[in-house]
Amino acid sequence: MSARLLMLQGTMSHVGKSVLVAALCRILYRDGLRVAPFKAQNMALNSYVTPGGLEIGRAQAVQAEAAGLEPEVEMNPVLLKPEADHRSQVVVLGRPIGSFSASEYYRMKPSLLPIVLDALERLRSRFDVVIMEGAGSPAEINLKAHDIVNMGLARRVEAPVLLVGDIDRGGVFAQLVGTLELLPPEERALVKGLIINKFRGDAALLVPGVRFLEERCGVPVAGIVPYDPDLALAEEDSVALERPPGEREGVLDVAVVRLPRIANFDDVDPLRREPGVALRFVSRRGELGQPDLIVLPGSKTTVADLEHLRATGLAEAIVRAARDGAAVVGICGGFQMLGRAVLDPDGIESDRPRADGLGLLPVVTVFRPSKTTHRVEARVVADRGLLAGCRGLQVRGYEIHMGESRGEAPAAPFLLLARSGEPCQVPDGALSDDGWVLGTYVHGLFHNRDLRRRMLLNLARRKGVPLPEAPEDAADPYDRLADLVRAHLDMRLVYRVLGLEQ
């Protein structure tokens, strides 16, 4: 029997569709159903690597984990990774097929539809339920002709839809009513319920609005889901970085450079949740100050972001802060920026054959046409500076990069022991002579608790301050999310829409 379908679409980007899909995956998983997530086309700079070394959107990896699964490429068959000049790298079934302009991709979409439908059918053959996620808004008139991710796909596979609006960003009634008004009757008929997401306050005050929505739209309001700022789930869109940071005191000041084309910024999420750490994102020279740790995250376009750092004065400020005692960690593109130079002789990433790096690590990066994507297991082999006392620690993470970085540095700080499940002995990264500037290609570095804690303890010891204790085991964030959503979503309606008995 083919899996039942349910699709969540939103009135705009970043209304919380991805999180709600993760919640439904965990709810149905705990109810004993085999459930899988699916997003036909995802535009995101945060991506992840499947066990087989294939690249998908980070949100689908989170949703798979919520469903008790390893992520599969079928869960996100088309991934768009934005680049400079209104272009995106297009990743199909986990492998990049090229860089295309918006108009080129628009013309390409009909050829991708069979791939999308085939991936969905493969999931449906193995699961009881597939929870589908739309992208952006289904009412984008200019994009409807070749839609493969919203109502165009829902109509083809006859998927019922729950429409999600974000009350936290304002105008939720206009969002929901306006979206439905712009849908043709056959698409509007697919919408079986409305969800008001990210609510703060007394839900009783919304009763008149709920009554209005149901009378005006002829569709039930399936739930009013509260906003929970403490949910420890990876964010996918850089829109999340636009929220003002919460006030948090910390003995350690960590500044993350917000690059224009920042990628995989969820690498720093574990630092945000550490007791004693005050994490902030900085975009301008005057915001940097003299933090204890500077993190240069991943970038989709290293050369362009390097140019941005120089144009804004951040490059000079980072180098000065490092010389004045700030520790620096560069991950992937951030690692490449820390070196002496980035070479692109074949024009893989830009039309500049060479760009000078920040010169904090004695390495040179050369871009190659092939993309490296692996799940990795590694071991720390250095024992100084940030990594003092870390030698021998095991590290898990993933690689996504198109460059190779080599140089005159001492032995690399990490040794990769396995890539995509295959044993290997591959050095990774670079560490400055004093040990306080670290570069690596391993995404997820800070998700390794023992390594993260020892690095923070080394920073605190260097500063002469005590680091607060961290709890040993945090509660499962997916269970917390599922409990929250189940309490505020009409699950009887959800099961009825699915055609299943609860």
Percent of the chain having pLDDT more than 90?
Answer: 82
pLDDT digits 0-9 by tens, 294-309: 999 999 889 999 999 9
Q: Where in the chain is the domain with CATH 3.40.50.300?
A: 4-40+60-69+111-232+478-498
CATH architecture of 4-40+60-69+111-232+478-498: 3-Layer(aba) Sandwich (3.40)
Q: Where in the chain is the domain with CATH 3.40.50.880?
A: 238-463
Residues 6+ apart with CB under 8 A from 193: 162, 163, 219, 220, 221, 222, 490, 493, 494, 497
Q: Which residue blocks in 263-331 are alpha helix, DSSP H?
A: 269-272, 285-288, 302-312, 314-323
Structure confidence at residue 232 as a pLDDT band (50, 70, 90)? low
pLDDT digits 0-9 by tens, 366-396: 998 889 999 999 999 999 999 999 999 999 9
Q: Which residues are catalytic?
A: 332, 443
Q: What does the pLDDT average to over 349-353?
A: 80
Distance (Å, rounded) from C-alpha 119 to C-alpha 130?
Answer: 12
Neighbours of 286 (CB within 10 A): 11
pLDDT of residue 385: 97
Helix orientation angle between 314-323 and 302-312, rounded to the nearest 10 degrees = 80
Structure confidence at residue 236 as a pLDDT band (50, 70, 90)? low
Q: What pTM does this model have?
A: 0.90
> What residue type is 187 in one-letter code?
E
pLDDT above 90: residue 76 = yes
pLDDT above 70: residue 353 = yes
What number of CA atoms fall less than 13 Å from residue 19's CA on the CB side? 30
Out of 3.30.300.30, 2.30.30.90, 2.60.40.1840, 3.40.50.880, the CATH code matching 238-463 is 3.40.50.880
